[in-house]
C-alpha cells in the first residue's frame, strides 16, 4: 500500500454480540493505518459519550474478516485482499483477561497427567502415584497402586459424596477408583487388563459408562466403567483383594501402526485417536471399524475434540498445533498455529468457549490460543522450568499444567463474559 493509501480514510461499522457494549449502528470514518489500540480508544470514547452509566474503560479485541486484528488495519486488509472503498464491518469483543499464576503444587517426580472437574484436580506422576487436589491448591490424597509411571487420569462421575475416576499406567493396566469425599478415602475397585504395553492415554464417554485407552501396543481398547458386575462381563476375583476385580476389554480397535498418543470420545459411539504413525482415526465403536482416517505429516502427540465447535486440535512433533474440521470436503486442516519452539505435547479445548484452547510443549511453555488469531497466542503462561507434559481447564477460568519440573501450576483468569 502506498503512503497515500495508508493515510486514506475508510468507513467502518462497529458491531458486537455483547449488548452491554453496543454502540450506535452508524458508520464512522477512520484512518486506514489505525492499530487495535486506536480502535480501543475510539470504542471506549463512543461508549462514554452514548452511555452515561459507562465508567470503567474496557479492553477490546477486534475481528476483521474473521481474524483478530494484530497489526494496523491497512496491513490486515491488504493481506486479506479487501477493498478500502466499501464500508467495513469490525466486530469487537471484550478481551479474555491475562491469566495470573495462582498455585504451584509440588510432586516428587514428573507430572505426566492432569484432569480437572469442578473444584477438584486429579494428577498422575512418574513416581507411579496419583494425587487429588482442590482447585485452591490443597493436597487431599496421594494414592499408590500402579507399579510404573501414571500417564493418564480421568474423572468418571460425581454422585453425592462419591467420586469415581480412572488411571492408566505404563504397567499396562488401568484402575477404576472410588473416592469417598467426606472420609477422604479411596478404594481400588477394578483393574483393567488387555494391553500388551504401557497405557498412554484415556478418555471417558460423556455418560460415564465406558472409557477408551490408547497404548504403546498400537491398540485402542474400550472398557466398561460401570461399578456393577455385568452379565456379559464376568469380573474375576484377584488374589490381591486391594486391587479389586479384573476386567477385560469390551472391544479392541486395531489399525494404528505405532503407539497411540491420544484418545477422545466424539459421541456415544465414536472415538477419535491419534498416533505416532502420523494418523488420526475416527472409530465406530459398535462396528469396531474406522469411519474416517486423516493423515498428518509428523507424529501426533495429543488430540482433543470440542463438542462446542465440532473441531479437532492436534499436538505434533513439528512444533505446530493444527485445527481440523473432519466434516470438511475441502481442506481438512483449517488453521495452523505456530509459536512453540519445541515439540507440542498436549492440547485442550476450553469447555465453555468454542474459540479458546491451550497447548503445552517441550519449550517449557503453556500457550492460550484464540482460534481467530492463528499467528500469535493470546498469552504465554510462563513459570515451568522444564518441558510441559499435560494441561487442562477447570470451568471456566482455571488453567492447569503439569511438567517434568515436578510441578502442577494453576493459572486463574477473570472470566470474560459472552465472547464465545
pLDDT tens digit sequence for 265-315: 999 999 999 999 999 999 999 999 999 999 998 999 999 999 999 999 999
Q: What is the mean pLDDT of the chain?
A: 92
Report residue 82's pLDDT band, with 50, 70 and 90 as the boundaries: confident
Question: What is the per-residue burial (b if ≥16 Cβ within 10 Å, else e) of 126-162?
Answer: bbbbbbbbebeeeeeeebebbeebbbbbbbbbbeeee
Residue 231: is its pLDDT beyond 50? no
Question: What pLDDT is stored for residue 368 in this prediction?
Answer: 96
> Measuring CA to CA, which residue among 128, 149, 130 is closest to residue 139?
130
Residue 133: is its pLDDT beyond 90? yes
Question: What pLDDT is stored for residue 230 in this prediction?
Answer: 59
Residue 375: is its pLDDT beyond 90? no
Question: What pLDDT is stored for residue 396 in this prediction?
Answer: 74
Report residue 85's pLDDT band, with 50, 70 and 90 as the boundaries: confident
**Domain residue ranges in the chain:** 3-94, 100-412
Please tell me the CATH code under which domain 3-94 is placed: 3.10.20.90
Using a 10 angstrom Cβ sphere, with 0-12 exposed, 13-18 middle and 19 or more buried, the burial of residue 187 is exposed
Report residue 420's pLDDT band, with 50, 70 and 90 as the boundaries: very low
pLDDT tens digit sequence for 240-250: 445 689 999 99
DSSP 291-352: EEEEE-SS-EEEEEEETTTTEEEEEETTSEEEEE-TT-SS-SEEEEEE--SS-EEEEEE-SS
Residue 67: is its pLDDT beyond 60? yes
Residue 418: is its pLDDT beyond 50? no
Q: Which of 234-243, 340-349, 381-390 has the lowest mean pLDDT?
A: 234-243
**β-strand pairing of 356-361 with 344-349:** antiparallel
Distance CA 116, CA 153 (A): 10
Please tell me the CATH code under which domain 100-412 is placed: 2.130.10.10
pLDDT tens digit sequence for 25-48: 999 999 999 999 999 999 999 999
Is residue 395 within 8 Å of residue 72, measured between CB atoms?
no
Percent of the chain with pLDDT over 90: 83
Percent of the chain with pLDDT over 70: 94
Question: What pLDDT is stored for residue 5 in this prediction?
Answer: 52
Report residue 360's pLDDT band, with 50, 70 and 90 as the boundaries: very high
Amino acid at each position: 500500500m502506498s503512503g497515500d493509501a495508508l493515510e486514506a480514510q475508510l468507513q467502518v461499522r462497529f458491531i458486537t454480540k455483547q449488548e452491554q457494549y453496543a454502540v450506535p449502528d452508524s458508520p464512522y470514518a477512520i484512518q486506514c493505518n489505525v492499530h487495535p489500540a486506536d480502535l480501543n480508544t475510539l470504542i471506549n470514547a463512543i461508549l462514554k459519550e452514548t452511555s452515561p452509566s459507562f465508567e470503567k474503560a474496557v479492553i477490546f479485541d477486534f475481528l476483521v474478516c474473521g481474524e483478530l486484528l494484530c497489526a494496523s488495519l491497512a496491513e490486515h486488509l491488504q493481506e486479506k485482499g479487501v477493498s478500502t472503498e466499501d464500508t467495513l464491518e469490525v466486530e469487537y469483543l471484550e478481551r479474555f483477561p491475562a491469566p495470573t499464576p495462582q498455585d504451584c503444587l509440588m510432586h516428587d517426580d514428573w507430572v505426566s497427567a492432569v484432569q480437572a472437574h469442578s473444584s477438584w484436580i486429579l494428577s498422575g506422576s512418574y513416581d507411579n502415584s496419583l494425587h487429588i487436589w482442590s482447585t485452591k491448591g490443597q493436597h487431599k490424597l496421594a494414592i499408590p497402586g500402579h507399579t510404573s509411571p501414571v500417564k493418564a487420569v480421568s474423572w468418571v462421575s460425581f454422585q453425592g459424596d462419591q467420586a469415581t475416576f480412572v488411571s492408566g499406567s505404563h504397567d499396562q493396566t488401568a484402575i477404576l477408583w472410588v473416592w469417598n469425599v467426606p472420609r477422604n478415602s479411596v478404594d481400588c475397585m477394578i483393574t483393567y487388563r488387555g494391553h500388551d504395553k504401557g497405557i498412554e492415554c484415556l478418555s471417558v464417554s460423556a455418560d460415564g459408562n465406558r472409557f477408551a485407552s490408547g497404548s504403546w501396543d498400537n491398540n485402542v481398547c474400550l472398557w466398561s466403567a460401570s461399578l456393577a458386575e455385568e452379565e456379559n462381563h464376568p469380573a474375576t476375583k484377584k488374589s490381591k483383594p486391594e486391587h479389586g476385580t479384573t476386567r477385560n476389554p469390551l472391544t479392541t480397535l486395531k489399525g494404528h501402526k505405532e503407539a497411540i498418543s491420544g484418545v477422545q470420545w466424539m459421541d456415544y459411539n465414536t472415538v477419535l485417536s491419534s498416533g505416532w504413525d502420523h494418523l488420526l482415526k475416527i472409530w465406530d465403536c459398535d462396528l469396531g471399524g474406522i469411519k474416517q482416517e486423516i493423515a498428518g505429516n509428523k507424529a501426533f502427540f495429543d488430540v482433543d475434540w470440542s463438542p462446542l465447535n465440532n473441531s479437532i486440535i492436534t499436538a505434533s512433533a513439528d512444533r505446530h498445533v493444527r485445527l481440523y474440521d473432519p466434516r470438511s470436503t475441502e481442506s481438512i486442516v483449517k488453521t495452523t498455529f505456530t509459536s512453540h519452539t519445541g515439540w507440542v505435547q498436549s492440547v485442550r479445548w476450553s469447555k465453555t468457549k468454542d474459540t479458546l484452547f491451550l497447548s503445552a510443549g517441550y519449550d517449557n511453555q503453556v500457550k492460550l490460543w484464540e482460534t481467530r488469531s492463528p499467528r500469535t497466542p493470546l498469552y504465554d503462561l510462563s513459570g515451568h522450568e522444564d518441558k510441559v507434559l499435560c494441561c487442562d481447564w477447570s470451568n471456566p477460568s482455571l488453567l492447569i499444567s503439569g511438567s517434568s519440573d515436578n510441578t502442577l501450576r494453576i493459572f486463574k483468569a477473570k472470566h470474560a463474559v459472552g465472547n464465545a
